[in-house]
């Protein structure tokens, strides 16, 4: 995902008419299912060339990075304990079986024997314990995997092929977390030998591909692991990967990506945007996939500790001043749809009652601001006690999914009611320093995951970023009642009780304008007709393990 502030982070294919974030009525029809008409590898070899939509962090250590593009690159390098299909069902992967105690505080995994990392060392219970302990270590500086470990209390090695992962409080969402690449098992030998920087450059896992080249801000090359024979039980493909390797190239411009695809310079282009996917839809040599995401919607979080936005009424006025449907029509030609919750509709425990719970109301916004004593000046902005009513926005560069265009439209609409918005787009992890210091008024986040526990990461007071400690609660919400709902929901083993608490959190952050949901962003992937065997994971991202290239 989507992500931590401007470093926005990171699966299931639906029919177009039912796919949130992708409107029907386009000139063609995207593919709405995995390309699994032929099983196995009718052909082998060749290099799959993939254009990525954004710059990668140079550090590809799954225990460290929070980035969506990095996730898609390392998914083929790191295996997970379990696999989760598009229906939320779990099946064996590195773990052949597992048991959970009655309180969801202890998970015991029996590992598949004979699995090896690409450096030739065994993937055993010690490696699992090492991976999770390393994530928890302050020296690792984990930006997201540490959140997935939740209330981690340590792991116990029961034998070479058995490990028990313990938690301080019930953590029923751990299997979902353990299925993600961010909790992929790393080689202790390589990690200890190379150190954080060296391991991040060429991390070592047990997956079907091995990173052989990592050129920062340019490309990553992966080569097939010929010994791989322990793929997820939930996939149709078995054994080594079909293609000989994958080259991921960073190409931030959507028009450039689709141009390279149609010219045959690459085999796949990720995150195709309007109007470029119209080009893909009418090209007979191109296949287009429209994938509805799950997790956190793209949303603006207002810093509730930054004056004057500590005032809930001012936050509500700011929200009411934004014409989201008009922005989506202008920027995305109506192909993206409006979000109403901090969660996307495909996510478990999404609260559909929030749909339509507010609307664009500039007159109401102006009335609130005037009543609060903010008077409109000759410069077009409101002032009070010598202060201009302004808010700073932390954005990102390069421009991902036209989000900079969205911020400019919002800036213009806020000016219409007299609010001055200052936009700064930061590169890489630079925004994290700003967020840790708390020197901002608003930032934008999104994240791809199947679990509503992302709400804990976004709104629990323990996740507020502070100097030297990154956190995803960029709204800096510190509310004991919300904390209580979040803690109860995350630990609950009763689905109905958990849903009630998740719903209360979703409603609170919307009703109090802590979060302003903006849009539902589908994952749009275009490939040439020569690409076959593509499938997608639970969170909406492609799995290239079973892909083969027609000759």
Residues 6+ apart with CB under 8 A from 387: 308
- Report the alpha-carbon distance of residue 78 to residue 449 in Å, rounded: 17
DSSP for residue 192:
H
Cβ 301 vs Cβ 352: under 8 Å:
no
The pLDDT of 463-478, averaged and rounded, is 90
CA angle 261/266/270 to nearest 5° reads: 70
The pLDDT mean for the chain works out to 90
Q: What is the pLDDT of residue 13?
A: 27
Q: Hey, CA dihedral for 408, 412, 413, 418, is it positive or negative? A: positive
What is the pLDDT confidence band of residue 23, given thresholds at 50, 70 and 90?
very low
Per-residue pLDDT tens over the stretch 261-273: 999 999 999 988 8
For the cut 60, the answer to whether the pLDDT of residue 64 exceeds it is: yes
- Report the alpha-carbon distance of residue 442 to residue 516 in Å, rounded: 10
Cβ 50 vs Cβ 268: under 8 Å:
yes
**Core vs surface per residue 495-522: b (16+ CB within 10 A) or e:** eeebbebbbbbbebbbebbbbbbbbbbb
What is the pLDDT confidence band of residue 2, given thresholds at 50, 70 and 90?
very low
The pLDDT of 332-355, averaged and rounded, is 93
Residue reference for tokens 């090492």: 130
Residues 6+ apart with CB under 8 A from 367: none
Whether pTM > 0.75 for this model: the answer is yes
Distances (CA, A) of 262 to 61, 125, 202, 449: 33, 47, 31, 31
Residue reference for tokens 């287009």: 288
Q: What is the pLDDT of residue 143?
A: 86
The better pLDDT of the pair 196, 371 is held by: 371
Q: What is the pLDDT of residue 28?
A: 61
The pLDDT of 353-380, averaged and rounded, is 98
Residues 6+ apart with CB under 8 A from 512: 312, 315, 316
Distances (CA, A) of 302 to 107, 293, 306, 551: 37, 24, 8, 52
Q: Is 34 left (phi over 0), alpha (psi -120 to 50) or beta?
A: beta
CA angle 115/119/121 to nearest 5° reads: 50
- Report the alpha-carbon distance of residue 45 to residue 63 in Å, rounded: 30
For the cut 80, the answer to whether the pLDDT of residue 238 exceeds it is: yes
What is the pLDDT confidence band of residue 68, given thresholds at 50, 70 and 90?
confident
The pLDDT of 28-47, averaged and rounded, is 75
The better pLDDT of the pair 166, 34 is held by: 166
Cβ 102 vs Cβ 28: under 8 Å:
no
The pLDDT of 355-377, averaged and rounded, is 98
The better pLDDT of the pair 35, 532 is held by: 532
Q: What is the pLDDT of residue 38?
A: 63
The pLDDT of 183-201, averaged and rounded, is 94
pLDDT cut 70: percent of the chain above it: 93
- Report the alpha-carbon distance of residue 21 to residue 36 in Å, rounded: 24
Instruction: Please give, one letter per residue, the 3-state secondary structure of 535-549.
Output: EECCCCCEECCCCEE
- Report the alpha-carbon distance of residue 459 to residue 216 in Å, rounded: 33
Per-residue pLDDT tens over the stretch 448-460: 888 899 999 999 9
- Report the alpha-carbon distance of residue 172 to residue 543 in Å, rounded: 26
The pLDDT of 208-230, averaged and rounded, is 95
For the cut 80, the answer to whether the pLDDT of residue 56 exceeds it is: no
Considering 316-325, 432-441, 516-525, the range whose residues carry the highest mean pLDDT is 316-325
Per-residue pLDDT tens over the stretch 537-551: 887 889 999 999 997
- Give the burial class of 259: count Cβ atoms within 10 A of its Cβ; 0-12 exposed, 13-18 middle, 19 or more buried: middle
For the cut 80, the answer to whether the pLDDT of residue 164 exceeds it is: yes
The pLDDT of 486-496, averaged and rounded, is 92
The pLDDT of 371-386, averaged and rounded, is 97
Distances (CA, A) of 89 to 35, 176, 497: 20, 9, 21
Q: Which of 251-255, 326-330, 495-499, 538-542 has the lowest mean pLDDT?
A: 538-542
Per-residue pLDDT tens over the stretch 410-468: 999 999 999 999 999 998 778 888 888 899 999 999 988 888 999 999 999 999 998 87
């Amino acid at each position: 995902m989507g992500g931590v502030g401007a470093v926005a982070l990171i699966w299931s294919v639906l029919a177009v008419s039912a796919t949130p974030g992708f409107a029907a009525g386009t000139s063609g029809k995207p593919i709405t299912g995995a390309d699994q008409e032929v099983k196995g590898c009718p052909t082998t070899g060749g290099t799959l060339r993939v254009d990525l939509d954004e710059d990668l962090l140079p550090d590809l250590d799954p225990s460290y990075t929070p980035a969506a593009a990095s996730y898609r690159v390392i998914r083929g390098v790191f295996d997970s304990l379990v696999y989760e299909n598009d229906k939320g069902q779990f099946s064996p992967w590195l773990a052949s079986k597992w048991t959970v105690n009655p309180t969801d505080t202890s998970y015991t995994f029996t590992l598949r024997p004979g699995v090896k990392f690409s450096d030739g060392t065994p993937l055993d219970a010690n490696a699992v314990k090492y991976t999770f302990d390393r994530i928890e270590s302050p020296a690792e500086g984990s930006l997201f995997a540490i959140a997935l470990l939740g209330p981690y209390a340590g792991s116990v090695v029961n034998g070479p092929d058995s490990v028990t992962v313990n938690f301080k409080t019930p953590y029923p969402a751990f299997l979902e977390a353990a299925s993600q690449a961010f909790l992929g098992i790393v080689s202790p030998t390589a990690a200890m030998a190379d150190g954080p920087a060296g391991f991040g450059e060429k991390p070592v896992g047990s997956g079907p591909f091995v990173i052989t080249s990592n050129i920062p801000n340019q490309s990553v090359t992966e080569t097939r692991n010929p010994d791989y024979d322990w793929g997820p039980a939930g996939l149709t493909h078995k054994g080594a990967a079909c293609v000989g390797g994958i080259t991921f190239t960073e190409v931030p411009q959507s028009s450039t990506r689709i141009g390279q695809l149609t010219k045959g310079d690459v085999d796949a282009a990720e995150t195709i945007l309007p109007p470029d996917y119209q080009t893909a839809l009418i090209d007979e040599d191109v296949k287009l996939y429209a994938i509805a995401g799950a997790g956190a919607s793209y949303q603006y979080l207002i810093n509730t500790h930054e004056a004057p936005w500590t005032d809930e009424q001012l936050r509500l006025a700011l929200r009411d001043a934004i014409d989201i449907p008009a922005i989506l029509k202008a920027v995305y030609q109506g192909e993206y749809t409006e979000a109403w919750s901090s969660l996307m509709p495909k996510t478990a425990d999404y609260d559909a009652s929030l749909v339509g719970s507010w609307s664009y109301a500039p007159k109401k916004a102006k009335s609130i601001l005037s009543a609060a004593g903010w008077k409109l000046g000759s410069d077009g902005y409101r002032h009070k006690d010598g202060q201009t009513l302004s808010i700073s926005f932390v954005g990102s560069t390069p421009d991902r999914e036209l989000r900079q265009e969205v911020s400019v439209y919002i800036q213009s609409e806020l000016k219409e009611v007299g609010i001055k918005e200052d936009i700064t787009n930061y590169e890489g992890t630079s925004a994290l320093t700003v967020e840790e210091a708390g020197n901002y008024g608003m930032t934008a986040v999104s994240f791809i995951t199947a679990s509503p526990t992302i709400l804990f990461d976004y709104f629990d007071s323990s996740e507020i970023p502070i100097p030297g400690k990154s956190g995803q609660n960029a709204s800096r919400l510190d509310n004991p009642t919300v904390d209580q709902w979040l803690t109860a929901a995350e630990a609950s083993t009763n689905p109905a009780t958990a849903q009630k608490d998740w719903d209360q959190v979703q409603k609170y952050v919307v009703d109090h304008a802590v979060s302003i949901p903006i849009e539902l962003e589908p994952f749009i992937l275009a490939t040439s007709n020569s690409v076959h065997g593509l499938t997608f994971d639970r969170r909406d991202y492609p799995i290239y393990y079973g892909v083969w290239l027609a000759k």
